[in-house]
Amino acid sequence: GENVEQHPSTLSVQEGDSAVIKCTYSDSASNYFPWYKQELGKRPQLIIDIRSNVGEKKDQRIAVTLNKTAKHFSLHITETQPEDSAVYFCAGGSYIPTFGRGTSLIVHP
């Protein structure tokens, strides 16, 4: 099955800085790469996703890039704000997603 690795496990930034979280995957057949955000005490929710036929997707302050050759994809958050503090999960796989271990992002005011 799919193996998804996510780094770093913890990321601490100052408000206004950028944050980058990276994931690698193993299954060449994977073609859908979502990112979920989990705020403290809440359920994971989709924030952005990318399909394998594009290399980059943006939505306001967040963007995801995909390198199919290298089998990695990244989440970029610009101008971070305290409300961006959460755990972020990447996922890969074909029919049933396999999740990375998560990145705890802390944005200091």
Partner 1 sequence: EAQVTQNPRYLITVTGKKLTVTCSQNMNHEYMSWYRQDPGLGLRQIYYSMNVEVTDKGDVPEGYKVSRKEKRNFPLILESPSPNQTSLYFCASRQEGRRTEAFFGQGTRLTVV
Residues that bind partner 1 in the complex, under the rule CB under 8 A: 1, 6, 9, 31-32, 34, 36, 43-46, 49, 51, 89, 91, 94-102
CB of 63 to partner 1, least distance (A): 18
Least separation, in Å, of the C-beta of 99 and partner 1? 4
In order of 19, 34, 75, 76, the CA distances from 63 in angstroms are 11, 11, 6, 5
Going along 26-85, which residue ranges are E strands? 32-38, 45-51, 56-59, 62-67, 72-77
Q: Which is nearer to partner 1, 45 or 81 (CB)?
A: 45
In the complex, least distance from residue 107 CB atom to partner 1, rounded to whole angstroms: 20
Q: How many whole angstroms separate alpha carbon 68 and alpha carbon 46?
A: 21
Helices (H) and strands (E) in the chain, counts: 0, 11
Closest separation in Å from C-beta 37 to partner 1:
11
Total residues found in the chain within this entry: 109
In this complex, which beta carbon is closest to partner 1, that of residue 13 or of residue 97? 97
Whichever of 18 and 94 has its CB closer to partner 1, that residue is 94
